[in-house]
Every structure is written in structure tokens, then in C-alpha cells.
Amino acid sequence: MKRIAVYCGSASPADPVYVECARMVGRTLAERGIGVVYGGGRLGLMGAVADAALDAGGEVIGIIPEVLVHAEVAHRGLTELHVVQTMHERKARFTDLSDGFLTLPGGTGTMDELWEAMSWAQLGYHTDPVGLLNVAGYYDHLIAFTAKMGEVGFLRPQHQGLLIVDDTLDGLLAKMDAHVPAPSIVQMDRADL
């Protein structure tokens, strides 16, 4: 993977474990020569990932909707800052510029990005790995919910491995590197749908 889209929150929770993890992710990706593509903000976990990657000499590409630039949350010190009109354009650009997706803790925007990356993988719009770093058990319930979707039948057996999960960045990146794309819905036999 040459570039990874990093999805994470623009908030800084009181527990320092989240910001520390974001810094570690940015630094580690840069040290491994993997560029960061992210939401273009300077606040919260987003800013921590970007600053750490930049401090380690990494490439950091931000993609931010124009409305957020005007709210003065854009990070002005990035390798590149792409200003787009809509959130839809932002997410499409993440997919165009990245070879994988790595989700850190975040809120509704982060969940929107994660679910779209998974949905697009199911549909065959991309074949890139979708990773979830389960920092301090933050995503335990989401992981259980994803398993429940499979158990009930809303997530096909062929797609139950789309969400790649680990509690450590090294483990997650190794799993993402070993990723084998699942057949997309359009490639599947009608009987399997």
C-alpha cells in the first residue's frame, strides 16, 4: 500500500489514549513510507495523525469540503490540500487516492466513511482492504454488531471478512497487506445473493 485513507474523529476525547494512538498511526505510516490521505482538518485525532506523519517526513494529503475550510478547520501545512464541494466528493477522492482504508475512533462522520468503504467493497467499486483499529476496545460493540449482521443474514458469508480488525497497528497493517478481495455482489451468482 502506497497510501492509506485514515478515517478518524475531529474531536480530542479526554482520555489521551485516542490522541496518542492517532499520533502513533501517523508516525508509523510515515516511517513505513505509506502516505496518509485524510479529511484535511487540523483538529482532534485528524490533526494528530497529520502532524505526526508530517513530523516524521511523510506525505499527507487532505481532502476537505469548502464549507469546512471557511470554518477555519483546514490544516494549511499539508503536502497537498484538496478542497471539494461535497462530502460525497470527499469520500470518492479518498477512494481514488488510496490503496486501503484505516479507521480509528471517531463519531458519525467516521462511521459514515467506514460504512461507505465497506459498502463500496461489496459492490466492487474498489478492492482495497478496509481496516478497523480497535483502540482501547472502542469498537467492541461495532465488531459484535458486524458479526450479528452476518449471523442474521444481512452480511453475506462472502463479505463477512471485509472488515479487517485488530487491536494493534502492526497486526492490522499485516492483515491489510495480506488482503484478498472478496467477490463483489455483481460478480456473484444470483443463487448466492
Q: Which residues of the chain have pLDDT under 50?
A: none
Instruction: Determine the pLDDT at residue 189.
Output: 62
Instruction: Determine the pLDDT at residue 34.
Output: 98
| CATH, domain range 3-192 | 3.40.50.450
Instruction: Determine the pLDDT at residue 185.
Output: 76
The burial of 161, by beta-carbon neighbours within 10 Å (0-12 exposed, 13-18 middle, 19 or more buried), is given as middle
**pTM given for the model:** 0.93
Instruction: Determine the pLDDT at residue 23.
Output: 98
Instruction: Determine the pLDDT at residue 192.
Output: 61
Ranges of each domain in the chain: 3-192
Of the candidates 133, 177, 125, 154, which has an alpha carbon nearest to the alpha carbon of residue 1? Answer: 177
Name 141's Cβ contacts closer than 8 Å, sequence gap at least 6: none
